[in-house]
Amino acid sequence: MMVESKKQQAESLYLILGALFIAALVSGNLIFQKFFHWTPFGKYTFELSVGILPYPITFLVTDIISEVYGRKRANKVVLAGLFASVFMLLIIVIANKVPATIWSPVSDIEFNKVFGLTFVAVGSSMAAYLLAQFIDVQLFHFWKKLTKGKHLWLRNNASTISSQFIDTFTVIFLLCSFGAIEWTMFSKLLIYGFVFKVFIAFLDTPIAYLVIYSIRKYFGLKKIGEELDF
């Protein structure tokens, strides 16, 4: 068992990781309507929503929490993200209903143009998010058990890439179904989004290694598969 000060530090770190997860999730849902061009290696041009930029962070954080704190703690963060998204959605719905003043820098039309589809976006995102995140956590621990706590790179990438495809497919399918995006864009956005997420998943592997190694070393977790107990 950890001494009291270490327990408090472990709890604080868990809250920080959870806050980072929720911030990335909510911001991604808010900014999704802007699209940009991504040209990796100067060859292929991808068209992506800016909402995809913070989203890989959510999978990185759940993998870190899963590795250090265990499955139950990771699932709690996923549920907290769901509640935060629902609360954010309610606030936006109310804000959209309240009429703007004559001197308001942002008119009702402008506000609705930016946030009008948030309900559809958040609904689609939450459905995809719940499915993908829980699959990510389950697959992470499946590979962790199968490899007996070894090969972090394998479970990090195998769980993330699989769940990212499910997430990308589900959210784009629902957005097209609700008319937020044209069906003609479905295949293109699915490929673009998935390739981008796989690219980021490989990039964040060394980050996951560094963060997890640092946490385990600081809290004295020496055994393979050992988790923080507080």
Domain boundaries, the chain: 4-218
Q: Is the pLDDT of residue 155 over 70?
A: no
Q: What is the pLDDT of residue 151?
A: 64
How far the first Cα of the chain sits from its last, in Å, is 8
Band (98; pLDDT cuts 50, 70, 90)? very high
- DSSP single-letter state for residue 101: P
Which residues are paired to 37 by β-bridges?
Answer: 47
Q: Which residues contact 26 (CB under 8 A, 6 or more apart)?
A: 81, 84, 85, 88
Report the predicted TM-score, pTM, of the whole model to 2 decimal places: 0.80
> For 85-113, what is the mean pLDDT?
89
| 41-83: pLDDT as tens digits | 677 788 888 888 888 888 789 889 988 888 889 889 988 988 8
**CATH architecture classification, 4-218:** Orthogonal Bundle (1.10)
- Tell whether the model's pLDDT for residue 12 goes beyond 80: yes
